[in-house]
Amino acid sequence: MEIFLNGLRQALALIMSLDPSLIEIVRLSLAISGLALVISALLGLPAGLFLGLKDFPGKRMVVALVYTGMGLPPVVVGLTIYLLLSRQGPLGDLGWLFTSRAMIVTQTILALPLIIGFTMTAIAAIPSALIMQLRSLGATRRQVVLTLLYEARSGVLAALVAGFGAIISEVGSVLIVGGNIEHKTRVLTTAIVLETRKGNFSLAIALGIILLTITFSANWLLLHLQGHLDPRQQ
Amino acid sequence: MDPILRLEAIRHSYGDHFTLNIPELGIQPGEIFAVVGPSGAGKSTLLRILNFLEKPQQGQVYFHGAAYTSGNLPIELRRRMTTVFQQPLLLRASVWGNVSYGLRVRGSRNGHETIRQALEEVRLAHLAKQSADRLSGGEAQRVSLARALVLNPEVLFLDEPTANLDPGNVRIIEEIIRRTNQERGMTVVWVTHNIWQARRLAHRVALLFDGEIIETATADAFFNHPQDSRTRAFLTGDLIY
């Protein structure tokens, strides 16, 4: 219990002191996970829309793959990316191993199935007759798609929340591909692992509290946005 | 007068059993044209083909004399017609947000007064700010009608919009359609299985049965001097389906 209280105190002290190394770690965590979230949203929202709206041969297999992807073991993803990016690997020439780019790729792969899956489910729940209704009201195809995304906004926001939550708190894969290099690839989760190994439990707990605060703030922001967009709560 | 909409040699199959087969059908500008017939006769399919939401497997659909399909109808022409369906399917937005949708997709920013008038016409001005999912079935359908009326369409398609409503809401909707047709000269194609509704409102009536138009006539001729035995049986309720 004392460790937790010390951790809380240290977390507050760290935050209040605006410790440069802490700010750097937080900034890097947000930048890497934020960018991975943006990339996976840019890829995942259209893919989820397509899967939610269209029927095609083999769709069931694709959906099964997406669902499997939602439960991908991060360490396995990290290991695969590591092997691909390692010097002898097929993508070794990129020189991305132990860089933030490798971490972004890994986190994008982890968030992508979550965003596709949640978006697909939200879009599929919209009555298909609505598309005909929107077209008859004069919407172009693009306007129909945007309206459907807006109609499914609760599910789409849940997709973003799930994706962000999964990658900001992920440690195994980013440790493998990033290497926890100070000033370069050290993020909150890998820093927690490092401090725990060094026996700095209070600092590790402090970093954990900061990580939780960030996740909570992001979720709070999204929920606030969701409430703002919902006519029932206005 | 040239028809505003015309079907020519339409054949369209659904599954193994049902085929819509319409050699010729014209809708005159400014008329209320009712399509009556039993459930499963193909009324809604006919409507979706007429309003270019579905492409017929064979045949042509003409709008102002030119043939188009659901795929190549220019958006400016599509926006001259709209449909009120049996299910209102409102957006997750306020009543105002729903009624303004069609204007917003047209990029119109000056529709405030039009929306207010349409809401008054359907007697829902007091609910403008309310979330649409809190409306009753009748109110939701009136919102659906209001969002069509604000667009001032040249052709208004109605696909059994009053099928699930109580008599009070049916009366309100029928009055609005009759008045809109008279005041604006709006062409109305009304699909209904309710012959009394067709009798109250339509200028011309067609009976659709098993995918084929059995008889088309003015309302007076259709109800008072039906030519086909199946029309007579439908009007007396003896047509078994």
pLDDT tens for each residue of B137-156: 999 999 999 999 999 999 99
Phi, psi of B180 (to 5 degrees): -65, -40
Same domain for B58 and B19, yes or no, is yes
Residue A226: the pLDDT is: 75
Using a pLDDT cut of 70, give the percent of chain B over it: 99
The beta-carbon neighbor of B89 closest among A129, A143, A234 is A129
Same domain for B181 and B137, yes or no, is no
Same domain for B147 and B159, yes or no, is no
- Closest residue, chain B, to A141 (C-alpha): B75
- Reference A191, options A180, A183, A176; nearest CA is A180
- Reference B195, options B219, B169, B165, B228; nearest CA is B219
Residue A203 — very low, low, confident or very high, per pLDDT cuts 50/70/90? confident
Same domain for B56 and B90, yes or no, is no
Angstrom CA distances, A90 to A15, A81, A95, A101, A209, stand at 42, 10, 11, 16, 39
Residues B164 and B88: their CA atoms lie apart, in Å, by 11
Q: Are B208 and B214 in contact (CB under 8 A)?
A: yes
Mean pLDDT of A17-31: 90
Same domain for B159 and B235, yes or no, is yes
Mean pLDDT of A151-167: 91
**Last residue of a domain, which of B103, B135, B152?**
B152
The CA distance from A234 to the nearest CA of chain B, in Å, is 9
Q: What residues in A contact B149, CB-CB < 8 Å? A: none
pLDDT tens digit sequence for B179-198: 999 999 999 999 998 899 99
Residue A230: the pLDDT is: 63
Residue A234 — very low, low, confident or very high, per pLDDT cuts 50/70/90? very low
pLDDT tens digit sequence for B82-93: 999 999 999 999
Residue A189 — very low, low, confident or very high, per pLDDT cuts 50/70/90? very high
**Last residue of a domain, which of B152, B185, B203?**
B152
Interface touch B92/A230, C-beta < 8 Å: yes
Q: Is the pLDDT of residue B55 over 50?
A: yes
User: What number is the ipTM of this complex?
Assistant: 0.91
Interface touch A231/B97, C-beta < 8 Å: yes
Q: Does B76 touch chain A (CB under 8 A)?
A: no
User: How many Cβ pairs within 8 Å bridge chains A and B?
Assistant: 61
Residues B193 and B36: their CA atoms lie apart, in Å, by 5
Interface touch B105/A139, C-beta < 8 Å: yes
Q: Are B25 and B206 in contact (CB under 8 A)?
A: yes
Two tokens, residue A100: 């933030």
pLDDT tens digit sequence for A57-115: 999 999 999 999 999 999 999 999 999 999 999 999 999 999 999 999 999 999 999 99
Same domain for B32 and B122, yes or no, is no
Cα distance from N-terminal residue to C-terminal residue, chain B: 36
Mean of per-residue pLDDT scores for chain B: 93
Query: In what side-by-side order are the strands of the sheet with B18-27?
Result: B66-68, B58-63, B5-14, B18-27, B212-218, B204-209, B32-36, B187-192, B155-159, B81-84
Q: Are B181 and B32 in contact (CB under 8 A)?
A: yes
Residue A233 — very low, low, confident or very high, per pLDDT cuts 50/70/90? very low
Residue of B45, B76, B91, B100 best to disrupt the A interface, most CBs of A under 10 A: B91
Interface touch A147/B91, C-beta < 8 Å: yes
Looking at per-residue pLDDT, the higher value among B161 and A7 belongs to B161
- Number of folded domains in chain B? 2
Q: Which domains does chain A have, with CATH numbers?
A: 2-233 (1.10.3720.10)
Using a pLDDT cut of 90, give the percent of chain B over it: 85
The CATH code of the domain that includes B182 is 3.40.50.300
Same domain for B104 and B9, yes or no, is no
- Reference B61, options B1, B11, B14; nearest CA is B11
Using a pLDDT cut of 70, give the percent of chain A over it: 97
Cα distance from N-terminal residue to C-terminal residue, chain A: 42
- Closest residue, chain B, to A153 (C-alpha): B92
Residue B241: the pLDDT is: 54
Interface touch B92/A231, C-beta < 8 Å: yes
Residue with tokens 């499963």: B40
Residue A102: the pLDDT is: 96
Same domain for B4 and B73, yes or no, is yes
Q: What residues in A contact B83, CB-CB < 8 Å? A: 132-133, 136
B241: helix, coil or strand? coil
Two tokens, residue B96: 């105002």
Angstrom CA distances, A215 to A33, A87, A219, stand at 11, 35, 6
The CA distance from B196 to the nearest CA of chain A, in Å, is 27
Q: Does B81 touch chain A (CB under 8 A)?
A: yes
Residues B204 and B36: their CA atoms lie apart, in Å, by 11
If interface means Cβ-Cβ distance under 8 Å, which residues of chain A face chain B?
A: 127, 129-130, 132-140, 143, 147, 151, 153, 230-232, 234
Residue A11: the pLDDT is: 78
**Which range marks the domain in which residue B40 is found?**
1-80+155-241
Same domain for B57 and B119, yes or no, is no
- Closest residue, chain B, to A144 (C-alpha): B105
Residue with tokens 């005041």: B183
- Closest residue, chain B, to A229 (C-alpha): B93
Q: What residues in A contact B91, CB-CB < 8 Å? A: 147, 151
Strand partners, B205: B34, B217
Q: Are A106 and A81 in contact (CB under 8 A)?
A: yes
Same domain for B66 and B163, yes or no, is yes
Q: Is the pLDDT of residue A32 over 90?
A: yes
Residues A215 and B26: their CA atoms lie apart, in Å, by 62
Q: Does B209 touch chain A (CB under 8 A)?
A: no
A75: helix, coil or strand? helix
Same domain for B37 and B68, yes or no, is yes
Mean of per-residue pLDDT scores for chain A: 91
Q: What is the 3-state secondary structure (H, E, C) of B46-76?
A: HHHHHCCCCCCCEEEEEECCEEECCCCCCHH
Same domain for B108 and B163, yes or no, is no
**Last residue of a domain, which of B106, B129, B152?**
B152
Name B147's Cβ contacts closer than 8 Å, sequence gap at least 6. Answer: A137, B98, B99, B100, B101, B102, B118
